[in-house]
Amino acid sequence: MHSVVVVGGGPAGSACAARLAARGLNVTLLERATFPRTKVCGEYLNTAAQEQLDEIGIGDGVGGECNRIEGIRLNVGSQRVELPFAVPAWAIARSRLDDVLLSHARAAGVRAITNARVENVERAGPCLRVRFRDASGFDHILEADIVVGADGLGSLVARKLRLSGGERRRGRFAVGGHYSGFGDLGGFIEMYVAPKAYFAINPLNATLANVMIVVEQSDLHRWTGAFDERMAQTAAQLAGGKRGIHEVHRLGKRVAVGPLGHTVRNVADRGAYLVGDAAGFIDPFTGQGVFLALCSAKLAAESIEAELAVKESPERVRARYRREHRDMFGARARLASLVSLIVRTPWLTKRAARNLQRSADLRRVVMQAIGGTEVLGRSIDSAMLLRLVS
């Protein structure tokens, strides 16, 4: 039986492993952490991500645990714009989403090993060899026909198999945590854009909110040094000054990740596939991360099945995956770059907020793109840019 090793148990890794096991393949998943685990994430699922969960049969189950998100309130200085979704998004803690997806993979027949620290991936003739250390410190070696790198930013699989686009240097950092005390946000994400930074407050339920700040590395200390105080001040602002600073509490630890820049030169090559953030990372402002992870998992699983079944030449299969991933990822990367440019440029930010406030049609187009319900292309990118900043 053909064997596949998936490195990484996040949404991309678990979803890809589950799809492959459902096709009758022998799949082992290696995850460094113990679940449930805390990760920096916006903890938001757009409409397109929901559709991916429906495809693998867990959409209703996940949806039943989620908080409905009706839209985004964008705050730029004194400007405040309400951007409703055509279809509600979902909010769910990543610790819970990852746990559900990994459990689904196990139920599909995946052998999932947590506390598994992968230390090397190398080619060994027609196979690939994965060496990892288990929770007891013992070394193990697995040989596989296919290895899937789903191990996120700075992917070890990408580096060891020379698929990486180079070392990450400068870039922004994301810092996040869970807070109580923001009160009822009415099912809306509160998004604040400030010079050199932005942050979002995403209500996970009636009392708990996820807060994630994305900030330039040069400004990281200034923001994180007063992180809790800033959140308390924001909560007071949302309550019209009626809430005291002592009423906002962080629950659990604060986590950070960065630099966020990450590129690869090849997402598929000789028995190796990259999915999720391991295959490339885009600015998190538009909330596309989980959708891209689930979608790349689907594309990779289809390609891996075709390659192992020898339905066509492996080179052609891998070329198709590269093309499909480029089409899916590239359009959203361009959208994210457009939004990042606007967010980083104060006068563009103010102009975009003003135009969104004035035009219901522009609000609709922007939210369809963010929700994943709009087919993206270069023409939409260009048209959106002109309409936002003209």
> What confidence tens digit (pLDDT) does each residue in 67-99 have?
999 999 988 888 889 999 888 999 999 999 999
Kindly tell me the number of DSSP H helices and DSSP E strands found in the chain.
12, 17
In the three-class reduction of DSSP (H, G, I as helix; E, B as strand; rest coil), residue 298 is classed as helix
Task: Give CA–CA dist 211/12, Å, rounded.
Answer: 23
CA distance 26 to 295: 21
pTM value > 0.75 = yes
Return all residues near 309 (Cβ < 8 A) that are at least 6 apart: none
Nearest to 266 by CA among 169, 153, 166: 166
pLDDT at 242 (0 to 100): 56
**What is residue 170's predicted lDDT score, i.e. its pLDDT?**
58
pLDDT of residue 371: 76
The predicted pLDDT at position 379 comes to 47
Phi-psi category of residue 293: left, alpha or beta, with phi > 0 → left and psi -120 to 50 → alpha: alpha
Q: What share of the chain is helix, strand, coil (3-state, %, to 5)?
A: 40, 30, 30
**Tens-place pLDDT, residues 177-228:** 898 888 888 899 999 888 778 888 999 998 899 988 888 777 777 766 666 6
Cα 204 from Cα 221, distance rounded (Å): 27
* Residue 4: other Cβ atoms inside 10 A: 27
pLDDT value for 255: 82
Token readout for 285 is 């402002």
**Residue for token pair 């509160």:** 190
Q: Give residue 373's pLDDT.
A: 63
Query: What region does 132 belong to: left with phi over 0, alpha with psi -120 to 50, or beta?
Result: beta
Instruction: Give the contacts of 138 (CB within 8 A, at least 6 positions apart).
Output: none
Instruction: Domains for the chain: give ranges and CATH numbers.
Output: 3-67+91-167+261-330 (3.50.50.60), 172-257 (3.30.9.100), 337-389 (no CATH)
Residues of the chain with pLDDT under 70: 1, 166-170, 223-228, 230-233, 235-246, 373-385
